[in-house]
Structure 1
Amino acid sequence: MDSRRLHAFVKIVDIGSLTRAAAILHIAQPALSQQIVALETHFGKQLLVRSKRGVLPTEAGKTLYRHAQVVLRQLDQAKTDINNTGRTIAGQVNVGLAPLSTAATLALPLLKAVRERYPGIVLQINENIGGVISELIMTGKMDLAFIYDPGTIRGVKFEPILTEELFLVAPRPLLDPKKADRTEIATEDVGGLDLVLPTKIHTVRQLVDITFRRVGVDAMVIAEIESVPTIARAVWEGLGATILPWSAAHAIASGRDDVIVQRITAPSMHTKVSLCTSDQWPLSEPAQVVKDLLAEIAHAYAAEPQADGLTPMGRKERKRKVA
């Protein structure tokens, strides 16, 4: 199999046009068409079809596209690893981080650590919803991620690192003055507030909805927002409260007397954050050292005292003993 054919095929699918792909690849269109014919002959399947919207992959073409991306990426990494044999570790590593979580807080420490220890590694950091990130890892477009653990997903594996507790972040005028200075608030009382929450595909939102249903409370959601800065501005403007892990909650309330952070109780809300990697494709050497660094930084965060003087793991242990 000529890797150039796979590269040409991927480019055609990405662009959706034989003519434009030929121009970008600096190949005559008839020669490019012949490469596709050779691929179709090799696999015994039609891979592309022409339509009014351009060139589209068939079902067989979509399958080849997914595999071709992984193969080409591994070939590039193999070249890098071979060229760097005996040298310092170098290469590109794509890392996914879940927004609205500790993961996003660790982005800068990770970048600093990589620059200090492995300056030959170029990090690509992508903040996105966990479902999107896990799909990128399955298809080989991303090396690893630190995201909320949704449970078993075929094609990826999760290594639990820490458990995050969720907190209410609210503008002071939104709360009952008698309860505004408390450190905790019951889930039932949270249900009576105007809430700005992530969309329903987000793990945090799913946890909130499940907890509210257990208590028999309807969430008064006035807006669904994925952007932490936008959620923060909505809280600062007094439009509504939100529910976030401590790291994000603390960042929104830091330095502001008009924003209150309270632990949610009766029941409390906890979610796992895990390292996510492919269970089919081995990590490159640069990706492995970045994974080890990310785990090191995350474990260090898990050992830091939080709002109640306990570490995330210590709080989990206290909860277990009380139970």
Structure 2
Amino acid sequence: MELRQLRYFVAIVDHGSLSRAALALHVAQPALTQQLRQLEDELGVQLLHRSAQGMLSNDAGKIFYEHAQAILKQVADARSAVVQSAERPGGSVTLGLPHSISGALALPLLTASRARYPEITLQLTEELTGNLNEQLRSGRVNLAVLFDDGQLGQFATTPLVEEELRFICRADAPYALGQPALTLQEAVATPLILPGLQHGVRPRIESVLRSAGLVLSSVIEINSIAILKSALLADLGATILPSAPVLDELQRGTLRAQAICDPAISRTVVLCASKNIPLTTAAHAVSTLVRQVCADLCADGAWPGAAVIDG
């Protein structure tokens, strides 16, 4: 198996056809077809099949595509690690962000990266936390912002912030109107709209509820942040979330956020890297930058409900 075969296979999947992949790779289509056939012969399985929509991956092809992407990224990272300097780091760095964090962190981080490290191509990917775990393990992302649930021992972790979860609803909704805070029991007594368990925030809420002897009675599950916000604005219920995903709506005054007490709910946000795959100089630089941007956002009050974790 050769690296070029992996590159060819990934290109065919990405472009959806042999002809378009051949043009992008500047390779004759018969040569591309031959390399694909040799790859499938070596693996002993068919990876792609033709359809009216073009070349599509079968189940084996989808699995192999994920591995091929990870291998090609690690090869590119190894090349970058050799040629880049600590003074002017360059190359590509992929950082994974959960949906509930990107609203606060993504744009400030991109702006800071462009200003401080113009030779680094920072690629941000927004995913469910479970997907980010897998991508970090396989090397498809260099770094990931995750939540410390006690299950991150496989990664090298750096604490970033402690983020408060708040009771959020439409600005004119009757729930606890005029109160600066409400108890957790009062919060769960309202109709709630929450992400599913595959989102990092939901297991944290469930854990605190169990410890407090409380249970959720009425919940609408919505896994899309955009749809969840629409449901809040339609006054279908309230939610328990950090402020980050709804910063724009809070600033415009269409939603309001209230503190939760007795007990409060918070989560620890950490930056994670693989223990097995070395970071490039550029990835180290981005890691330091993430910590600095988080600290600046908290100091400026631009990340409501978040406090920097010292050390």
The question of a shared fold, defined as TM-score above 0.5 by the shorter chain, is answered with: yes
Percent identity, please: 31
**Counterparts in 2 of 1:225 and 1:57: CA distance versus 1, 3 Å:** closer
RMSD, aligned CA: 3.7
Residue 128 of structure 2 is matched in structure 1 by 129
Residue 114 of structure 2 is matched in structure 1 by 115
* Deviation of the 1:209 alpha carbon: 3.1
SS at match of 2:165: strand
Given that 1:161 and 1:273 are in contact with CA atoms closer than 8 Å, whether structure 2 keeps it comes out as yes
TM-score relative to the length of structure 1? 0.76
Q: Which moved more, 1:104-113 or 1:44-53?
A: 44-53
Output the amino acid matched with 1:69.
Q
**Number of positions where the alignment pairs a residue of Structure 1 with one of Structure 2:** 306
Residue 188 of structure 1 is matched in structure 2 by 185
Give the 5 Å matches for 1:154-193: 156-171=155-170, 173-175=172-174, 179-193=176-190
Output the amino acid matched with 1:224.
I
Q: Deviations 1:189-243 (Å, cap 9, x if unpaired)?
A: 1122122222331111222234344433324223514225x44443344332121
Given that 1:306 and 1:312 are in contact with CA atoms closer than 8 Å, whether structure 2 keeps it comes out as no
Question: Which of 257, 260, 270 is the matching residue for 1:261?
Answer: 257
* Deviation of the 1:307 alpha carbon: 10
Given that 2:181 and 2:259 are in contact with CA atoms closer than 8 Å, whether structure 1 keeps it comes out as yes
In the alignment, is residue 144 of structure 1 matched against residue 143 of structure 2? Answer: yes
Aligned counterparts of 1:281 and 1:218: Cα–Cα separation in 2: 41
In structure 1, list runs of 5 or more residues that go unmatched: 315-323
**Counterparts in 2 of 1:180 and 1:56: CA distance versus 1, 3 Å:** closer
Residue 99 of structure 2 is matched in structure 1 by 99
* Deviation of the 1:274 alpha carbon: 0.9
In the alignment, is residue 241 of structure 1 matched against residue 235 of structure 2? Answer: no
Q: Deviations 1:238-257 (Å, cap 9, x if unpaired)?
A: 3321212144465433352x
SS at match of 1:174: coil
Residue 214 of structure 2 is matched in structure 1 by 216
* Deviation of the 1:50 alpha carbon: 6.3
**Counterparts in 2 of 1:32 and 1:203: CA distance versus 1, 3 Å:** same
Larger Rg: 1
Question: Which of 256, 272, 277 is the matching residue for 1:276?
Answer: 272
**Counterparts in 2 of 1:13 and 1:196: CA distance versus 1, 3 Å:** same
Given that 2:91 and 2:119 are in contact with CA atoms closer than 8 Å, whether structure 1 keeps it comes out as yes
Aligned counterparts of 2:257 and 2:59: Cα–Cα separation in 1: 52
**Counterparts in 2 of 1:246 and 1:303: CA distance versus 1, 3 Å:** same
In structure 2, list runs of 5 or more residues that go unmatched: none
Q: Deviations 1:270-304 (Å, cap 9, x if unpaired)?
A: 21111022222112222211111001222344556
Given that 2:244 and 2:303 are in contact with CA atoms closer than 8 Å, whether structure 1 keeps it comes out as no
Given that 1:6 and 1:68 are in contact with CA atoms closer than 8 Å, whether structure 2 keeps it comes out as yes
Aligned counterparts of 1:24 and 1:264: Cα–Cα separation in 2: 54
TM-score relative to the length of structure 2? 0.78
Aligned counterparts of 1:106 and 1:199: Cα–Cα separation in 2: 22
Given that 1:48 and 1:58 are in contact with CA atoms closer than 8 Å, whether structure 2 keeps it comes out as no
SS at match of 1:123: strand
**Counterparts in 2 of 1:250 and 1:183: CA distance versus 1, 3 Å:** farther
